[in-house]
């Protein structure tokens, strides 16, 4: 059977069946941003692994090695952040093709370790190997959290408010600029374009924010936005068995992104809804906690409400509802023939 027939989530279910017999010692195994493993009577260990492949997740034509190292670390730390944890350690596995020089590898590690240093996380091991074909990076991040503070994707309840940190869509717009520049040398100039590009190449994982949200005990469910708001909200709703209304006008867009309205190929809201790779945190908050969440010392925006049922809707400024789609992120079923599936969730829309 082709993987495209079974589909990503079918495959993950079957792998879970195969491995089901011996996962009892894990508090949470396959299925969330990170696995949750018993550490001590009061603390758990969080573990996650993420792949970045050349020509699937990045292209050398627009990614420098420093940024690639930075981002490889960031996407993994973002998963730890999404559980409310503190990242502690990372391991890397690199498949290195012949065209990669020693300087490239060291630049990769400079970027990787700069991001790690920013979050007091240590590189403790790894493996490197020649790759007969493209470059790839596999990173494992290990974090920890107080058991009582871990936030999964499962706890959202009807009536909860839906919040998001930062702003959405910048990374996808930055990627479009990078690709246009490569194509015909002009895809956007000026400070705004540079900042959008930077948000794509060197995203900042919301580690302190994730921890603060967990500590505040405000969040009933949390995920990082790697595939795009609609896809990642879908994961929370699916695992919590709820629906959601998102108010289109409330989705936070940066001034950089809004300034590019008309210069991009799609309406700016599309980048926020399904662009992906924002690495902001999406979380749900019960009514009694909304006030407390607003007092956190970083920007959060209330963008909608969790509903009973299964429907995910986008509500426009006239109050009109339209279905919010997962935008086809079963990566084993994309028409391009590329597939990507995580033993937890898909990540990073394959654009272009």
102 lies in the binding site for a copy of itself (CB under 8 A): yes
Q: Give just the sign of the alpha carbon dihedral 309, 311, 317, 318.
A: negative
Number of residues that bind a copy of itself (CB under 8 A): 86
60 contributes a contact to a copy of itself by CB under 8 A: no
Q: Could you say which residues in the range 66-95 bind a copy of itself, by CB under 8 A?
A: 88-89, 91-93, 95
Contact 150, 83 (CB under 8 A): yes
Distance CA 202, CA 75 (A): 10
With respect to a copy of itself, which residue has the nearer C-beta, 37 or 290? 37
Residue 259 within binding range of a copy of itself, rule CB under 8 A: no
Please report whether residue 61 would count as binding a copy of itself according to CB under 8 A.
no
Which CA distances in Å does 206 have to 74, 75, 164, 257, 281? 9, 10, 11, 20, 7
Measured CA to CA, the distance from residue 69 to residue 106 in angstroms comes to: 9
What is the C-alpha to C-alpha distance for residues 276 and 282, in angstroms, rounded to an integer? 12
Nearer to a copy of itself, 150 or 218 (CB): 150
Give least dist CB 65 to a copy of itself, A: 13
Q: Is 50 in the site for a copy of itself (CB under 8 A)?
A: yes
* Cα separation, 191 vs 169, whole angstroms: 17
Angle between helices 207-215 and 65-81 (to 10 degrees): 10
| Closer by beta carbon to a copy of itself, 81 or else 177 | 81
Q: With binding defined as CB under 8 A, does residue 230 bind a copy of itself?
A: no
**186 part of the interface to a copy of itself, by CB under 8 A:** no
Task: Output the six-digit token pair for 74.
Answer: 């960031």
> Should residue 35 be labelled a site residue for a copy of itself when binding is judged by CB under 8 A?
yes
Determine which residue in the list 44, 47, 82, 151 makes contact with a copy of itself, applying CB under 8 A: 47
Among 199, 202, 331, 333, binds a copy of itself (CB under 8 A): 331
Which one of residues 61, 125, 287, 352 is an interface residue with a copy of itself (CB under 8 A)? Answer: 125
Minimum distance, C-beta of residue 311 to a copy of itself, in the bound complex (Å): 30
- Per the DSSP assignment, residues forming a β-bridge with 54 are 58
Record the tokens describing residue 195, joined without a space: 């900042």
Does 128 engage in binding with a copy of itself (CB under 8 A)? Answer: yes
Distance CA 352, CA 349 (A): 9
């Amino acid at each position: 059977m082709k993987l495209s027939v079974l589909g990503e989530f079918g495959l993950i279910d079957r792998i879970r069946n195969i491995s089901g017999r011996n996962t009892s010692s894990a508090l949470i195994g396959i299925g969330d941003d990170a696995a949750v493993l018993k550490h001590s009577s009061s603390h758990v260990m969080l573990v996650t692994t993420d792949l970045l492949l050349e020509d699937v997740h990045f292209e050398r034509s627009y990614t420098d090695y420093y940024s690639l190292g930075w981002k490889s670390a960031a996407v993994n730390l973002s998963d730890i952040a999404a559980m409310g944890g503190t990242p502690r350690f990372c391991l890397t596995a690199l498949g290195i093709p012949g065209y990669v020089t020693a300087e490239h590898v060291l630049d990769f590690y400079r970027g990787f370790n700069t991001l790690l240093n920013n979050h007091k996380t240590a590189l403790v091991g790894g493996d490197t190997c020649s790759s007969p074909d493209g470059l790839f990076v596999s990173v494992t991040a290990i974090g920890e959290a107080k058991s009582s503070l871990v936030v999964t994707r499962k706890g959202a309840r009807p009536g909860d408010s839906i919040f998001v940190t930062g702003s959405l869509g910048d990374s996808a717009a930055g990627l479009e600029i990078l690709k246009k520049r490569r194509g015909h040398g002009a895809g956007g100039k000026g400070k705004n374009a540079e900042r959008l590009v930077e948000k794509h190449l060197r995203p900042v994982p919301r580690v302190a924010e994730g921890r603060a949200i967990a500590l505040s005990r405000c969040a009933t469910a949390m995920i990082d936005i790697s595939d795009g708001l609609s896809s990642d909200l879908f994961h929370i709703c699916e695992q919590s068995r709820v629906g959601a209304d998102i108010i289109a006008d409330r989705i936070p867009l940066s001034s950089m992104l809004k300034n590019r309205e008309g210069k991009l190929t799609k309406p700016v809201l599309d980048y926020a809804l399904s662009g992906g790779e924002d690495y902001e945190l999406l979380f749900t908050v019960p009514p009694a906690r909304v006030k407390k969440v607003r007092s956190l010392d970083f920007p959060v925006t209330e963008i909608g409400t969790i509903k009973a049922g299964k429907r995910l809707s986008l509500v426009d400024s006239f109050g009109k509802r339209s279905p919010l789609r997962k935008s086809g992120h079963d990566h084993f079923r994309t028409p391009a023939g590329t597939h990507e599936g995580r033993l937890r969730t898909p990540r990073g829309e394959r654009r272009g």
